[in-house]
Structures are given as C-alpha cells and as structure tokens.
Structure 1
Amino acid sequence: MLRALVCSNSELSFLMEAHDGLSAAIAKRAGFKGLWASGLSIATSLGYRDANEASWSQFVDVVERIVDSTALPVLVDGDGGFGNFNNARLLARKLRQRGAAGVALEDSCFPKMNSFVGERHPLADVNEFSGRLRAVKDTVGEDLVLVARIEALIGGHGMDEAILRAHAYADAGADAILIHSRTSSADEILSFVSAWQNRLPVVIVPTKYFRTPVSAYRDTDISTVIWANHSMRAAMAAMRQVCNEIMAEEGVAGVEPRIATLDEVFALLEYDELARSEARYLVSR
C-alpha cells in the first residue's frame, strides 16, 4: 500500500504525521491512507530533543504502537539510521519486524540535529551514505520502501549538490527521493523537481512553505506530501491552553465544552467492540 502511495506519480498522495497510537487512530479516522512516523514528533512526545537523544530501540517501540493502532501503512522517519551502515540495516530489520512499511533515511551526520535548528549542517559523505542505503536495501529488499532524504538544500549546500546526491542515492537503490527545504516558498523545491526530471518519485515536506497551494504540487511530478509534525504541535498547543486554564481557574468546568468527551474517546478506540468481545467470551464459557 505504501509503495502504491509513494512510488507512483499518477495521483498526489498525502501522509499524516503520527507520534503514538492515539494520533495514528485520529489520522485514520480523518481519512488519511498512510502515516509518517515523525522523528521530531516521537522525540518530543517522549520528552527528548530531535537530536538522536532517544535511542533507536525506544523509537522502534513507538513505531510498533503506531502500526498496531491502525491498518495504515507507516513510513518511518529513520533520521540517518542511528549511526553507520550496520546501525542503519539493524534499524531497518527491526522496523520490518514491527510492521513498518517504509523508512526514510537522511544524509546527515550522527548524531543528527533537527533540520530547522542552526545553520549549514554538515552532510554525510555521498559514498558513505550510499553505502548505508545499499546495506538497508540488501537487508530488507522490497519489504520496505526506502526513501533517501536529501538535506543539501536545507543545509545551504546548493542545488547542484542536491541533484548530485539524488543521482547517487538512486543508483544505491532508493525507491524515492525526499527533498527538504527551509525556505518560506516552494521555489527551490519546484526547481529541484524540474531538474530531477522524474528519475525517481519525489516526496516533499512543506513545513516551512505551507502557504503554497497543493495545486502547485499536482502540476508537477511530486508523488507525496508529508504533513510532518502537525498533530504533535496541535496537541502541544491544546494541552498548554487547557493546563493553563485549569491552573488559573482551579477547576475544569470552563474547558469541558472544548475537549473530547469520554464517549468520543471510547468510540475512537472501539470500546464497544471490546464489550461485545467480552460478552461473547462470557457466553461461550
């Protein structure tokens, strides 16, 4: 299912961020056909910074919760693979075991720093990162969709470097290219797509250039748009507001009309099915 979404240019597809089982279930209920297990959002939900502070095993445990909560395919933000080629293929093997459908690896150095923090991040050597991609592909084959994420533009290394890396990563076995940018317009992304000429499907993450209409992506060869951290940021804003109000008012009457009811919680997580199952079990006994 993920390969059909990401590796086809016939129709623009969308992946919604999830950072736990609840956010995954909400995204499914909203109608999304695939999920993005965001490194930033998962780290934040665990109380860590997006700088490889959470271990790969903690990360994989969360991905398992996301996979288990829905039947949707999950593309996992694997950062740089948590180390060298050995770490990357171990991560990929564990993600396959936990039911992930794909992994995106970025050409950053370990430990990575979030792309939007700081300036001109160093990039991994092209040949070394290509080796990481090959190791992953040799390990999981076609079982996982392998997306190569290029940080050249967001790191200030220019278009020529981005195109050079895209060709190298395609040769290394990537199924798709994720091109990232920190500019407030999509101009350099669209320039990359034009120069790339559709050798592999292109995935984008319009976190900073969010004002660009989706029609601009439909008119190009972009295959997939990832809404990369919006559930986590929405939850953070809502929880902050509710906590501040409860603290100030020393009560919850004011917030009750604006938060989910318990019936909504029960419906989302299918408590009714649990009750029916329990009833059937008791009758069978």
Structure 2
Amino acid sequence: MLGNGNAVPDAGAALKRLLARDRLAFAMEAHNPLAARIVGNAGFDVVWASGFSISTALGKRDRNEVSSTQLIDVLQGMREVTDTPILVDADTGFGDFNNFRLLVRRLSVMGVGGACIEDKTFPKLNSFVNGRQVLIDAEEFCGKIRAAKDSQLSNDFCIVARTEALVVGAGMHEALERAERYRLAGADAILIHSKEKTADQVLEFALHWAGRTPLIAVPTTYSETPCELFEASGFGLVIWANHMIRASVAAMSEVCNQVSSQRSVQGISNKIVAMEEVFDLFDYAEVTAAERRYCPNGAAGA
C-alpha cells in the first residue's frame, strides 16, 4: 500500500527518538516520490529530502534556484507514498527568519518530521562547489532557529542546525562556538559538515561536543569511514545525502547512450526493471481490487 498521506503527528517524535538512541540511524536521499518510495521500502530510518538532489531533478542548480513552493510540491508527493519520517534539507531557510518560520509551519501541517537549516548567507551555494561560501552572522541564525521553534505546530517537530564553519575554513573553535549557540537557541540536533577527505574533523568535533545534543554526519567526501566510528563517537544519524540522484544520473545516462548509439532497445533488459516491478512498487493491484468494489459495472472513468 501507499503511504496514507495523512498528517503524522509523531513523525518528529520518531525522528528525535532515532537521533537519541544508542544505535546509529541512517538516512538516504530522495529527490521525488519515486525515490522516497524506494528509500522507505529499503528500510532506511529516515528519508533525507535533499536540496541538491531535488534541485538537480528539477533541472536547477543547488543555489536556491528552486523555490520553497516547488520544494513543498515535491515533499507533498513524498508524503503520499511513504510513512518513513522525512527530514527536509531547507538550505538557508529560503530567506530571513520570516521565510523560514512560514516554511516550518507548512512542513508541520504536512506531517514532515523536521527541517535542517544551514548557517550560510542566502542564496546558498552547494558546499562542494568552488565559489562564494559565506557564514551568516551567528545571532541572526539563532533568530531563525527561535522563529522556527516558535512557529512549529508540534513540540516534536525537529529543527536541525547545520554549521558550515569547517566547510568555509573558519576552524574548529568557530564550529563549536556556533553549534553551542544554536543549541541554546533551541536546535534539537547539530549537523556538523566537512568536505575533507577523511572524517578526522567531524570526529574531533564530536569529541569536544561530548553529547550535548544529537549529532548528524554527512560522509559524502569521507565515505570510506567505517560507520562504527560515527556510532562510537556519539553520532545519532548518518545521511547518505546524494546517492540516489547520482545513481539515477549514471543509470539513465548509460541506458540512454546505449539506445542512442545502437538505435535499438535490444540488450538493455538487464539494466532496467520489468514493468511488473514498477506496478508492484505502487500497488496497482490495490486499485484493481478497489475498482471491483466501487465500480461493479465497470464504470470507472466513465
């Protein structure tokens, strides 16, 4: 069956429980309802609604070229097909405190588990792109956090504060100082981001942080790090932040290039799923059974 699409008042509570438990939780990126359905079916604890991946899927760059309304449209589709808690990558909040609190209120109504906001200026640029990477004033960012907490419709809604201090080269002291200010402003968890090739920076941060709030890691550039290290260091969640969209680009490019060069779809059956697998993924059998119940005379669509 599909997700029920109703409000999930305990989605935030479920997310907070995952972050707080002793065992490491895992989130996988999704960029549309199809991806969210696959992530949920695969048994991941959390769906990460990635700003980069959603932007890419919509043909935009990860530089706030996608509006909050476009994001909401994608998220609504995700909510309709999975009951796995969704943590939304809200970038820098789509503007000032007012933009972010309006977004949080809409997410709360939808039954999304939480939103992650990062402490860079608007418009943001993807952390792994060479370009303008500037931190926002810490107190202004704290104001965004307080506005979000005051606007959420459930106390269980989860606000994750993501500091980019290590990404922009501001150093460990700045990262720790900012994270502590964000915690005091009401953040439910801290995402410490790094673009180093090893996890040394984030593991050092975790050592100094000493479990003040749940910690989240995004091992995109240090993906070879054993997850046992994150768990032993006190992290509550690891996010595989962009792997579904990257897998999609690779698979679609391979099939498309092969069909284009050979002018035939012969020989690609081992690279694509059967139609029946897609039908099963979205439970086509349910609507057929419902049709027999609600349209006994075969009048559906008449």
TM range (shorter): over 0.9
- Among candidates 171, 194, 199, match of residue 212 of structure 2: 199
Which residues of 2 match residues 1-285 of structure 1 at below 5 A? Answer: 1-6=14-19, 8-118=20-130, 121-140=133-152, 142-283=155-296
Identify unmatched segments of 5+ residues in structure 1. none
Q: Which amino acid aligns with 1:248?
A: S
- In 2, the alpha carbon distance for the partners of 1:193 and 1:64 equals 34
Residues 13 and 225, structure 1, Cα contact 8 Å, conserved in 2: yes
Residues 146 and 174, structure 1, Cα contact 8 Å, conserved in 2: yes
Q: For residues 75-109 of structure 1, give each alpha carbon's deviation from its aligned partner in whole angstroms, at most 9, with x where no partner exists.
A: 00000100100001011111122221100000010
Residues 56 and 82, structure 1, Cα contact 8 Å, conserved in 2: yes
CA shift for structure 1 position 119? 5.4
Residues 9 and 222, structure 1, Cα contact 8 Å, conserved in 2: no
Q: For residues 112-152 of structure 1, give each alpha carbon's deviation from its aligned partner in whole angstroms, at most 9, with x where no partner exists.
A: 00011115711000000000000000000524200000000
Q: Which amino acid aligns with 2:119?
A: D
Residues 120 and 156, structure 1, Cα contact 8 Å, conserved in 2: no
After superposing on structure 2, the runs of 4+ consecutive aligned residues of structure 1 that deviate more than 2 Å are 282-285
- In 1, the alpha carbon distance for the partners of 2:93 and 2:18 equals 23
- In 2, the alpha carbon distance for the partners of 1:194 and 1:157 equals 18
CA shift for structure 1 position 2? 1.3
Question: Which residue does 2:10 correspond to in 1?
Answer: none
Q: Secondary structure of 1:283's partner? A: coil
Q: Secondary structure of 2:149's partner? A: helix
Identity over aligned pairs, percent:
47
- In 1, the alpha carbon distance for the partners of 2:122 and 2:156 equals 25
User: Over aligned residues, Cα RMSD in angstroms?
Assistant: 1.3
Question: Once structures 1 and 2 are overlaid, which stretch shifts more, 28-37 or 222-231?
Answer: 28-37
Residues 125 and 132, structure 2, Cα contact 8 Å, conserved in 1: no
Q: How many residues align?
A: 284
Q: Which amino acid aligns with 2:27?
A: L
CA shift for structure 1 position 282? 2.2
CA shift for structure 1 position 68? 1.2
Q: Which amino acid aligns with 2:151?
A: T
